[in-house]
Every structure is written in structure tokens, then in C-alpha cells.
Chain A
């Protein structure tokens, strides 16, 4: 009997070791965490957070450098870590900041946090695929536990997806504080596969026109991100990424700019409350700088990306 119990214990131990091995080496350990890991033991000066807008560029551009790379070129003595990732938002930034501040061998000097106003749209923050449960779990949990995300998710000990497809589709969409429909109305491929002025107008409302409320989950996460950074002695910088306001005005009308300004003011207000500088670049660039797509996106051409890097450099990093 003792032998059997011993066997059982060995079996369980092998299972645990096997799970760590499988999580780390078989099922593609999270690429974003690996990227961050490659920087936390280096003398990284600046972490550049953000979504795909930081990286993406039209094919026609001569340079495909990201905004972080442009900035890095302006301050060559500093390592600028581009840890931006498609569809990320402040909820993930909080987990990243906690991870960086507790695991860095050399504490970074600065974290730059680009805030994309579209990330507050239900199209983005309610999308099941954009919840990053696995990544947040790995970033937030201690070393042995971080390898057990998948088994816990499979056992439904964690809610994955955090937002179901049905909940996503039934999320309300606002213009200001007025409900103008539900996500399903704006995600219908039948309606939006043909680009018309009306469908473009609807997408601009869907993506930008909702007022950001004070109890917004992302806004609270942004405050938490700033608190964690400041607590660790890291300078936090916030800026709001440009949006194609020219198209917005022509499609939605005169209410567009006030709503964008209002939302930017709310975001920068959170930064101000934490004593963090915030630059509002939401209305800084014209249509010509945006990747020419039918529906709203904030991806910039080379000149646009360079402009952002220059603004950050001039405001925070230029040595007088």
C-alpha cells in the first residue's frame, strides 16, 4: 500500500512537472510575455506600451519602423522596449506594469502609455478575443501558478472567455450617453460588408461617440497602471493617439469633435489625478496620415508615426 501511495505521489509530481513543461515549451508560451521577459533583465530605459497602432504601417511607406523605433532612434543611448500588442488596452497595461515593476533587474525610467479612444468602444473592450485572460493570468500570478492557466480554464475555475460572444453582441452602444443600439447591430457582416457613407458614419459613432464614464473598467485600470508605476518609481507618460477626426466630422457632424475632446479630457483627468503628464494628440493629424481603410482605424503612415515620436521626444526626452 505504501508503494502505491508513493507511486501516486510521484505520478502527481510528474504531472505537475509535465504541465509546466507543456505550458512553457509545447503550447507556445505567450509571445507578449516572452517579449517583456527579454527586456526585464536588460537595462531597459523606456517601455512603450500600446496597441497595433504603434507598429502598423501602410505598405507604401519607405520605413516600416514603429513609433517606438522612431523614438529610440532619437534617444540612441536609451533602450526603448516596444511591448505594444494588437488590441491591448489599459486593463492589460496594469498587468504589464505590475509584472515589469516586480520582475525587472534594473527598474526602467519611463513607461509610455498610448491610450486609443477606440479601445473604450464596446467593439474593442467587450470583444471576447480582446480580453487577454491568459496573458493577464501569466503576468499577474506567481511563477508556478502561471503555468496552470489552461488547466484552470478548462476546469472553468477561470471564466474564459471573460465576455461571451452573446454578451458581446448584446452590449449597448452609446452616442454620448444615449443608447443607439447594440453591438450586434454594428457587427452585422451583411450590413457592413458594403462600404457606404451611412455604414461609415455608423462605424464612427460605434467606435468613438460613446462617453467614457467615470466607472469605466479601462479608466480604472489606467488609474491602477499609473499608481503601480509611480509606486515603483517609474515615470509614467500618457498620450492619446490621433484619430481621423476629419472623416469623423464629415460623417457624424458637429458633435464629433466635442465628444472626442470630452473623452480625451476624461482620460487626461485620470492621468492628472495621478500626477502623470498627458498629451492629447487625438486631433493632431489629418486624414492623409491614416491608413486608408474604409472603416475607422488609427494606424498611421510613416510621417504620422514619426510625428508622434517627435512630439514625445520634444516634450519629454530632448535634453536642452
Chain B
């Protein structure tokens, strides 16, 4: 079930009302039933995968808690392997199989293992990682194994964050699921407001931008340089608001039931460096990789080469986590590689100029900030492109074509002619879809709103800003927000990008 669907508009109020009306002892069961229904709206049979993982990890965690030494480790490894096997079968088998086959063909070996024709269960990477976080915390002795199977099942299946996170830790979520929450009007309305902001980000900004981006990236070879540059820029905004919008809805809907989920974003494009970006972007996943992969590998408390290796491994796995495609691996590699370059450059500057002046510091900071954004936006090409050859084509043709077209426009006429021609050229992909001025203005509106929201978020937060206005202004703002979503939201059904992972 999509959050931005009519089914959810019926499902969520019904669940919410029932949640606050049933006796507290029934709430867990109610949420579990609701979560099963929510998940089964996609492919009903895949609920069995969730049940399998839940029962397995619940049982092994209980056994792990009671054991020590090698036995404890064996239970841990069994749980780890069982979860990874599910991931491999459903997500990675065909990818590895196809690559082995290509390699075998290259080497002249005989290799043929059929492909599996399985649909990827929705949000598989998310709930498996949440299960893994639980198992690892229990194994490390940081958190006791949950005794109640229903509570643990709800930890894995809690519908607001079931299919795309935030990937919660047991210490954060499990106690909240066991607490009897009292209805609090302020928390309840804050949750609804947060959902409203999420819907705005997703339906008004991200989905309207998606129409343009999808058209260009569906056939990059036919697109102009201007279109490719604009589409890449818009995709950077789209993916952020698509996922951040989802996270707002997830966090907000949980909040209406008294459950506080972790924050997933913190104005990521306002980052001062590439390294900092990863403490602002998809925080629940980046902190997962930090705690359960990067730190166990040694983190930064090792030599320079080992640190670089740890960074590369972490980002390659992170790329692969997103999807079984070399484009995601390349995306991870670009991020990892440039973090190493960034740190090396910082060290080199410090070595060359031990006591830099204020102007130099400001210049370096600006350069780092702009450089980080360029890398982030460039890497999105690989994330969005359908294949590596598409991504390669875009990276090698986008800028030469772009500057060629801008040059042609400059030599064609005066400023107004350029502005007119540029407007036309920018929106060629929309005219191919027979979309007119309204859609063009919606894209401009989406971009403007993006920057207004981000600027406000970097100051005191959009929701806080509205909440601290006079009652009349507040009401006008909330009504305007809802009416804008209802009337300017994209009507085409565009699934959340992160649902596919």
C-alpha cells in the first residue's frame, strides 16, 4: 500500500481511530494485524518471508542470550546467514548469476544456471537490516532478547516504517512498542502535521519533478545537454524529497500513535563536506553501516590505507544494498572514493599551510562545500541511470553538449531571445509528453518550494515556524498546505523510489 494512495487514506484513519479506542492491551495485536494487511496489499504471499525471518531471529536471539562462547557465536552466524540467504535469493541471485555467466563466457567456460523469476519483496533490505540490527545488539549483549514474539514481530513489521525505514534499533523502538501510550493532543497533531509536510514533499515537489526526470532518463541518448543537466539536478531534489517525504510520513504516522521514530535527514545538501553529508543523509542507514560494518572493520582507528579500505568496503556494500546493479556499486564507489580524496586534500592543505588565514579558511570551506555538492549530484547520475552504459553516456556527453547548446544560444540572439529559447529547450522533455505550461510551472514551483523549505529547515524548521505563528496564520498555513497537496500533487502514480530497495 502506497502512502500516497486512496487505500492508505482509508486505512490509516481507521487504524488510528481503532488504536486509540481499543483497550491498550489490544493495541499491539491491532498494529500487528494492520501491518500484515498493509504489507499484504503488495504481494500477499511475501508475508511468509517476514514470518520466517521473525520466527527465526526471535528464536535464535533467545537461544543466543542463554548461550556463551562458540555456541552463542554459532547462533549469531546462523541468524546472520539465514537473513543474508533471503536477501541473496530475492535480491542478488540474478545479479551475481548474470555476472558469473558473463565472466565464464569471457573465459570460455561452460556455465549456465537459470535465472530466478521472483519479484523483489517490498522493502526487503529495510526490514532485514532492522532484524540484523536486533540480532547484533542481542549478540553484543547491548539489548536483551525480546520475550514476547508479538512484540518482536511488531518491531519488524510496524507499518509506518516497514517498507522504507527509518531502520530502527531495538533499544529505540522495542521499549516504545511495549509502552502504553496515553493520547496526547499535541503529539497527535504534530504527527499529522509532519505527515502533511511529507505528503507535500513527495506529491507536490518530488512527483512533479519525476515526470521530467523519468522522461529524460528513459532515453538519455535522445536528450539534449540542457535537458540532461536539468534532469540530473532535478533528480537530486526529487530523490531527496521522495525519501525525506516518505520518512516524514513514516515518522509522523508513528507519532500519531505515540511512537517516536528516529530522524532520517538533516538538511543534507547544506553539508560542509562529503563526509558530513553522510551524517545528514539517510541517517538510519548510514549509522547502521557505521555501527555494524565500518566500526567492526576498524573504522578510522587504523592506518591510512586500512581506513581507505574500510571506507571503500562500507560504501560498496552500501551501494549494493540499494540495488543489485553495477550502477549502485559505482554510486557507492564514487562516494567512498571522494571521501578519501577529500580527507587526503584536507591533510595536504594542513601540512602545507599549518596556520591558514581567515580568508583562506573561508575559501577552502567554500571549495569543500561546492565540491561535495558537485560529487553528490554527479553520483546521482549513476544512481538514477538504468544501466552502466546509460550512466557512462550521460557523464561523458552531458557537459560538452550542455556548453555547446548554451554557446549556440548565446550566439543566436539577445538576452530575451536566449531566455525564450532556453525556456523552450529546458522543457522539451515535457512537450514530448504533451505536457504544457502548467506542468512547466509546477516544476518551477516545486524547485522554488524546495529551496524555501530547505532554507527554513536549516533555520528553525518549517513545522516549528508554522506552529509558533498566531492561530489564524497557523490555520491558513495548514489549510493552504493541504489544498496545495490536493490540487497541485502529481496525479500519475509514482512509487516511492526507496520502496524498490
Any chain A CB within 8 A of the CB of B434?
A: yes
Does A248 have its Cβ within 8 Å of any Cβ on chain B?
Answer: no
Asked if A156 and B434 make an inter-chain contact with CB atoms under 8 angstroms apart, the answer reads no
0/1 interface trace, chain A 102-143, chain B, CB 8 Å (1 if under): 000000000000000000000000011100000000000000
Contact of B483 among A15, A128, A155, A156 (CB under 8 A): A15
Decide yes or no: A14 and B5 within 8 Å by CB, A23-B487, A154-B486 being known contacts: no
Q: How far is the CA of A155 from the CA of B8 in the complex (A)?
A: 9
Q: Which of B130-138, B157-165, B462-470, B488-496 contacts A (4 or more CB under 8 A)?
A: B488-496
A151 at the interface (CB under 8 A from B): yes
**Interface band, chain B:** 20 to 34
- With A15-B479, A15-B482, A161-B492: A155-B487 Cβ-Cβ less than 8 Å: no
Distance in Å from the Cβ of A21 to the closest Cβ of chain B?
Answer: 9
A-contacting residues, B458-485, CB 8 Å: 475, 478-479, 482-483, 485
B184, chain A: closest CB distance, angstroms:
11
Q: How far in angstroms is the closest Cβ of chain A from B445? A: 13
Residue A297 is within 8 A (CB to CB) of chain B in the complex:
no
CB < 8 Å neighbour of B479 from A14, A128, A155: A14
Known contacts A154-B491, A156-B493: A128-B486 contact under CB 8 Å: no
Instruction: Please state if B491 and A11 are interface contacts (CB–CB under 8 Å).
Output: no
A284 within 8 A of B: no
Q: Which residues of A contact B490 (CB under 8 A)?
A: 154
Please state if A153 and B491 are interface contacts (CB–CB under 8 Å).
yes
Q: Mark A149-164, 1 if CB is under 8 A from B, else 0.
A: 0111111110011001
A128 CB contacts on chain B under 8 angstroms:
434
- Whether the pair B487, A27 counts as a contact (CB closer than 8 A) is yes
Instruction: Given A4-B185, A19-B486, A150-B487, verify A157-B479 contact (CB < 8 Å).
Output: no
| Smallest Cβ-Cβ distance to A8: which chain B residue | B189
A155 B433 Cβ-Cβ under 8 A = no
A18 on interface, CB distance cutoff 8 Å = yes
Say yes or no: A14-B485 contact (C-beta < 8 A), given A4-B185, A154-B203, A165-B433: no
In the complex, residue of chain A having the shortest beta-carbon distance to the beta carbon of B214: A165
Tell me if B9 counts as interface (CB < 8 A to partner A): yes
Bound-state CA distance A14–B471 (Å) is: 14
| A213 CA / B406 CA spacing, docked (Å) | 51
| A22 at the B interface (CB under 8 A) | yes
A156 and B6 within 8 A (CB): yes
Residues on A with C-beta less than 8 A from B287 are: none
B4 adjacent to chain A (CB < 8 Å): yes
B5 touches A155 (CB 8 A): yes
Instruction: Name the residue among A11, A26, A154 with the largest chain B CB count within 10 angstroms.
Output: A154
Q: What 0/1 readout, one digit per residue, does chain B (216-258) give for beta carbons within 8 Å of chain A?
A: 0000000000000000000000000000000000000000000
CB of B487 within 8 A of CB of A154, answer: yes
- A11: which of B5, B434, B478 is its contact (CB, 8 Å)? B478
B423 to chain A, nearest CB (A): 20
Closest to B5 in A: A156
Nearest CB on A from B242, distance (A): 16
* Among A151, A157, A164, contact of B487 (Cβ-Cβ < 8 Å): A151
| A155, B6: Cβ atoms closer than 8 Å | yes
In the assembled complex, the Cα of A161 lies from the Cα of B490 at a distance in Å of 11
**Chain A 163-194, CB within 8 Å of chain B: the 1/0 string?**
01100000000000000000000000100000
- Is the Cβ of A150 less than 8 Å from the Cβ of B479? no
Which chain A residues lie closer than 8 Å to B489 at the CB level? 154
A183 to chain B, nearest CB (A): 13
* Distance A157 CA – B434 CA, assembled complex (angstroms): 23
Report the minimum CB–CB distance from A85 to chain B (whole Å): 16
Q: Which residues of B contact A18 (CB under 8 A)?
A: 479, 483
Nearest A residue to B6, CB-CB = A157
Q: Which of B9, B185, B478 contacts A155 (CB 8 A)?
A: B9
Q: In the complex the two chains form, is A129's CB within 8 Å of B434's CB? A: yes
Enumerate the 7 nearest inter-chain pairs by beta-carbon distance, A residue then B residue, closest first. A151-B486, A157-B6, A154-B489, A160-B491, A153-B491, A155-B6, A150-B487
B interface residues (Cβ-Cβ under 8 A, vs A): 2, 4-6, 9, 185, 203, 432-434, 475, 478-479, 482-483, 485-487, 489-493
Q: A22-B483, A150-B486 are in contact. List 17 more A-B contacts (CB 8 A).
A: A1-B185, A4-B185, A14-B479, A15-B483, A18-B479, A19-B483, A128-B434, A150-B487, A150-B491, A151-B486, A154-B485, A154-B486, A154-B487, A154-B491, A156-B2, A156-B491, A164-B492
Q: Could you jot down 5 A-B contacts, CB within 8 Å?
A: A15-B479, A18-B483, A150-B487, A154-B486, A156-B4
